[in-house]
Amino acid sequence: MTTNDAFLKEITEGNTFKGDYITMGSAILNENPLKNAYVNIPLKTLNRHGLIAGATGTGKTKTLQVMAEQLSDQGIPVLLMDIKGDLSGLAKPGVSNNFIETRHEKIGLEYTTKGFPVDVLTLSHQDGVRLRATVSEFGPILLSRILDLTDTQSGIVSVIFKYCDDNKLPLLDLKDFKKILQYATQEGKAEFQEAYGRISTASTGAILRKVVELEQQGADLFFGETSFDVQDLTRIDSDGRGYINILRLTDIQDKPKLFSTFMLSLLAEIYTTFPEQGDSGRPELVIFIDEAHLIFSEASKALLNQIESIVKLIRSKGVGLYFVTQNPTDVPEAVLGQLGLKIQHALRAFTAKDRKAIKLTAQNYPDSAYYDTESVLTNLGTGEALISALDEKGRPTPLAATMMRAPMSRMDILTDTELSELISESKLVKKYNQTIDRESAYEILTDKINRAEAEAEKEAEREEQRSKKTTSRRKSTVMNPIVKVLTSATFIRSVFGILTKVMKK
């Protein structure tokens, strides 16, 4: 048996599964793709999370596109974080050309073109389905971690939430939260102190500054109603294809705090609301987080711990998380250790630090008799990747340098007109894009304070009126000095004494 035959046999046997799977491309040996040496990923292990990494321009976005298309065809909904704004083309069919046809001939796959069911979501003023969540839905613990608060400050946030629960004050947006913070140390100071103990003005001031910092990154748009129902991410179209939900984040690259806030709230909501899936053989939802370093670069230690915990637990809900980034070191080791799929595009070594990083990356892949992994990582071409997946029993599949198949959808963005048409046809836009500002903590407390101030003013007026009447009465009861003398007992006795003497004479 030749080396090629032995390699083909190993790849074929290692990528043959009982259940459904998606095909990424065909394996490469000695820089040449082997026809029909398909590299597959079983649906059963797609909730084990994964990583798509590689230098700029090596094909990460197209790999993400290929995976999203095939998942949709399998009836699995997808959520894509589109930070560069180049994924909207999934909604329209691609265009074939000689390069693509030649590539697919080498792989042994027929090339077809088609568009997919797409919904465009947004966190900002961009067009799309508005994503929002209320402050109450975050809860005191999650909100404290996002704001990176101390234990004392977190305790105050818990008290604030307890007070709002006890007094039926809805915490919907950030102005509600800021209002109750101010109320706790101003107008409502005595009320809070009696029920919960003294609250430090310095602590509430520090919390307010953290809230303002979050607001400056656009969080005031995110917090509020109508709150997004994560079940709407799991929709299937009339043809049985899963919706591809594209979250446009092109204006959020300089707002990592908002991005990590949204991601954490989304994952927490999914974990809370999705039922335990068990061993169903396919995921309920797959989430691709492009430019994943934005989640981790500005995250506090408490926030990182929260993300790591959710990553570990959320796969039991049938949710797969895929981090897309330039370098695997952008993702914390505790998260990397949870990943079952690694798709590594080429890495470039320009410095000693780069070479060291490549060496460490190579050690994360299974040993192979056919590859010098460290060398392969620096010699992969555009649209080629080193793939290590898990089979249906959770064992690593054979390591394969892979020539990736081309996306079936458009490998370019939609025009403004096409994007507007797509958004206007969305059922979710009608559901979520109406801004609601119902009576909540801000309005209730403002009304309470206004009523208290009005009552205080009335009481002051009444007191002033009482004071005037008292003064008037006092004036009316003060005798004229002459009358006082004439009516005094001493004067009267003197007068009677004189009259008696006169009469005796």
Neighbours of 13 (CB within 10 A): 10
At residue 221, the pLDDT reads 84
Which stretches in the chain have pLDDT values below 50?
none
What's the length of the chain? Answer: 505
Whether the full predicted model's pTM is greater than 0.85, yes or no, is: no
Question: Using an 8 Å Cβ cutoff, are 173 and 154 in contact?
Answer: no
Rounded Cα distance between 201 and 413, Å, is 51
Neighbours of 230 (CB within 10 A): 22
Rounded Cα distance between 201 and 183, Å, is 11
At residue 90, the pLDDT reads 96
Output the six-digit token pair for 247: 């979250």
Q: Which residues 6+ apart lie within 8 Å of 88 measured at CB?
A: 82, 118, 120, 246, 248, 413, 414, 418, 419, 422
At residue 451, the pLDDT reads 74
At residue 497, the pLDDT reads 64
Rounded Cα distance between 262 and 268, Å, is 10
Question: Using an 8 Å Cβ cutoff, are 80 and 290 in contact?
Answer: yes
CA distances from 417 to 173, 181, 239 (A): 33, 45, 25
Burial of 245 (0-12, 13-18, 19+ CB in 10 A): buried
CA distances from 9 to 19, 34, 186, 421, 429 (A): 20, 11, 75, 48, 50
Burial 49-87 (b: 16+ CB within 10 A, else e): bbbbbbbeebbbbbbbbbbbbbbbbbebbbbbbbbeeeb
Rounded Cα distance between 72 and 52, Å, is 19
Q: In angstroms, how far is the first alpha carbon of the chain from the final one?
A: 168
- CATH architecture of the domain with range 3-131+228-424: 3-Layer(aba) Sandwich (3.40)
3-state helix, strand, coil in the chain (%, to 5): 50, 15, 35
At residue 141, the pLDDT reads 87
Question: Using an 8 Å Cβ cutoff, are 258 and 219 in contact?
Answer: yes
